[in-house]
Structure 1
Amino acid sequence: MATHDLKDIFWNGVWRQNTGLAQLLGLCPILAVSTNLVNGVSLGIATIVVMAMSNAVVSALRNLIPYEIRIPVFILIIAALVTVLDLAFNAYLHELYLVLGIFVPLIVTNCIVLARVEAYAAKNPPLASAVDGIGMGVGLVLVLTILGGVREIIGSGTLFSGIEMLFPSAHAIQILPANYPGFLFAILPPGAFIALACLIAARNWFEARKATAKPVEAAGCAPAAH
């Protein structure tokens, strides 16, 4: 497969079919875990690993899986990969594992993962499927990064709170003044809904503006009539 095709598949997952902003899939972990940047990015990276590996494995085995039992087999593959990841988090990132809690095992039931396995990996070769999984995962990480960062800054005035769970020598950055009282609403679920709605509105506005700009550019490039 040509490099430009792989780039198109990747960009499709990152932007055109962004799971959080375009498809609106997996909203439960997006809204629940994005209370700060570190939590959101950590879960997003875990999802990237699961999506890339599950897409590649299902694609490689797609001709061996009977159509009638494909969904249970897909879930079994995803569950095996998530179990390995869950045990790795518990062993090497135990504090972060305790913070993320049930949301790491719940990647098994995340509709983003199963949707890409069923819609793409089951019909395409392994490399393209892996790139599709990575692209979708990166798109999710971008949403979680922006949501987590904005909610953390508004809610507590800091950034990278909890980074010591990943890098013991690192510390959170105080963005707003130290006497900032915090805005609890931003960290609560209603704040997550409002922040995500603003991101969706911004993406839709950008896409609408780009769509209206194309006919103008095409008209400007058209040859003059004689």
Structure 2
Amino acid sequence: MATKSSAEIVRDGLWTNNPALVQVLGLCPLLAVTSTVVNAIGLGLATLMVLMGSNLAVSLIRNFVSESVRLPAFVMIIASFVTCAELLMQAYTYELYQILGIFIPLIVTNCAILGRADAFASKNPPLPALLDGVMMGIGFLIVLIALGAMRELVGQGTLFTDMDLLLGPMAADWGIRPLEQYPDVLFMVLPPGAFVGLGLLIALKNGIDNHLKAHRKAVEPIVAGSKRVRVTGHVS
């Protein structure tokens, strides 16, 4: 299998093959805990850490693990990094850890992480595998933050509240309330609102992709024509 270039790995993780918007993986935590930005960032950073560590570890052992125990070995590696992330959150962001609850241990079952370990890390050298983990994790984190911001703003009329749970006292005043008398929209706070929000984000990405595709189709004849003109002029 030919190793992808760094640019292709970055583009895949952030846009072309984004785990949340394209692969549509890891929906359980994505929809359950993104009611606020701080929850989304906390879960996203934990997922990013696990993706980086598991991809690197799987790539390092890829030539020493037989097919019969490949998937169990991957799950054990992922579980080890999830345990590390869980202990770090207990030590430094305990209140946020309590809010996220069972969804931190459930990162072990996140299909996006096991999928990258099996589809990419187990077939590529360590550095590309690590870069893939970083980009896929950042792509997942961006979608979490966007969905969390949408749900918090529309559902509660606030933004960046309780950031001190993650960043400490310095972030206690980061909360924004654009409208003082904002009626809470309970639908967006609940999981059904997360489905609607994710659907809007997927539709936005597809719309951008379609616009770029149409633009490329419109430009290709012009570019091809200019090339023919240059070649004809050069020959004459």
Fold shared by both chains (TM-score > 0.5): yes
CA distance, structure 1, for counterparts of residue 203 and residue 85 of structure 2: 34
The question of whether the paired residues in 2 share the 8 Å contact of 1:52 and 1:134 is answered with: yes
The question of whether the paired residues in 2 share the 8 Å contact of 1:158 and 1:172 is answered with: no
- Structure 1 segments (4+ residues) deviating >4 Å: none
Give the letter for the 2:103 counterpart: F
Task: Report Cα offsets for 1:178-223 as digits up to 9, x if no partner.
Answer: 2212111111111111111011111111111111211211111223
CA distance, structure 1, for counterparts of residue 62 and residue 199 of structure 2: 37
The residue number in structure 1 matching 2:136 is 136
CA distance, structure 2, for counterparts of residue 45 and residue 138 of structure 1: 8
CA distance, structure 2, for counterparts of residue 44 and residue 173 of structure 1: 20
The question of whether the paired residues in 1 share the 8 Å contact of 2:158 and 2:177 is answered with: yes
CA distance, structure 1, for counterparts of residue 5 and residue 219 of structure 2: 26
The residue number in structure 2 matching 1:126 is 126
The question of whether the paired residues in 1 share the 8 Å contact of 2:163 and 2:175 is answered with: no
The residue number in structure 2 matching 1:59 is 59
CA distance, structure 2, for counterparts of residue 177 and residue 45 of structure 1: 30
The residue number in structure 2 matching 1:11 is 11
CA distance, structure 2, for counterparts of residue 104 and residue 128 of structure 1: 26
The residue number in structure 2 matching 1:151 is 151
- The answer on 1:188 being equivalent to 2:190 is yes
Q: Map residues 6-155 of structure 1 onto 2, 5 A cutoff.
A: 6-155=6-155
Unmatched 5+ stretches in structure 2: none
CA distance, structure 1, for counterparts of residue 59 and residue 153 of structure 2: 41
**Structure 1 residues 7-16 or 64-73, which shifts more?**
7-16
Task: Quote the offset at 1:84 in angstroms.
Answer: 1.2
Task: Report Cα offsets for 1:48-77 as digits up to 9, x if no partner.
Answer: 110011000010011111111100000001
- Give the TM-score normalised by the residue count of structure 2: 0.91
The question of whether the paired residues in 1 share the 8 Å contact of 2:38 and 2:165 is answered with: no
Give the letter for the 2:104 counterpart: V
Give the letter for the 1:116 counterpart: R
CA distance, structure 2, for counterparts of residue 52 and residue 174 of structure 1: 32
- Quote the RMSD (CA, aligned, Å): 1.5
Task: Quote the offset at 1:172 in angstroms.
Answer: 4.2
The residue number in structure 1 matching 2:176 is 174
CA distance, structure 2, for counterparts of residue 81 and residue 124 of structure 1: 20
The question of whether the paired residues in 2 share the 8 Å contact of 1:185 and 1:191 is answered with: yes
Unmatched 5+ stretches in structure 1: none
Q: Which has the larger radius of gyration?
A: 2
Give the letter for the 1:20 counterpart: A
**Structure 1 residues 4-13 or 193-202, which shifts more?**
4-13
CA distance, structure 1, for counterparts of residue 177 and residue 219 of structure 2: 41
Identity of counterpart residues, as a percentage? 43
| SS in structure 2 at match of 1:35 | coil
- The answer on 1:202 being equivalent to 2:204 is yes
